[in-house]
Amino acid sequence: MLPPASGNRLRYSSLSRLDALHFLSFTFFQECPSGVVNEETFKEIYSQFFPQGDSTTYAHFLFNAFDTDHNGSVSFEDFVMGLSILLRGTVQEKLNWAFNLYDINKDGYITKEKMDKNKDGVVTIDEFIESCQKVSTQ
């Protein structure tokens, strides 16, 4: 459960990293006492943040991005490492994470014509990063 957006927002934003990690750990283990979450449970938890629509497809992609060893579960460590990259990683690390999110079958390519610089039908990590960096400088 995330802190309310009211008066607790200032208090939460001023938490130390250790306090934030403790809060995240407490929340994770409250929802997943075994210390790991499978895809179905992940989708159920994720859907609570988007009650107006069907978030299962995107939750599936997110789960796979957090499940870096592809064992069908996300441990607390996997989750924290993913969040750490998203929140504090370098631009390169964030772009690699985002590419992994959209590389649905994990073959090293994204099939999207708009980013396919050499028009070979697939987007490589290099083309993805180049496209993202081009957009960020415009």
pLDDT number for residue 119: 79
Q: Which residues of the chain, if any, have pLDDT below 50?
A: 1-13
> What domains lie within the chain, and their CATH numbers?
17-88 (1.10.238.10), 91-137 (1.10.238.10)
pTM of the entire predicted model: 0.71
Burial 118-136 (b: 16+ CB within 10 A, else e): eeeebbbeebbbebbeeee
Check: CB of residue 129 under 8 Å from CB of residue 95: yes
Rounded alpha-carbon distances, angstroms, from residue 69 to 36, 63, 95? 13, 11, 19
Q: What are 81-102's pLDDT values in tens digits?
A: 999 999 989 999 999 999 888 8
Within a 10 A sphere around the Cβ of 22, how many other Cβ atoms? 12
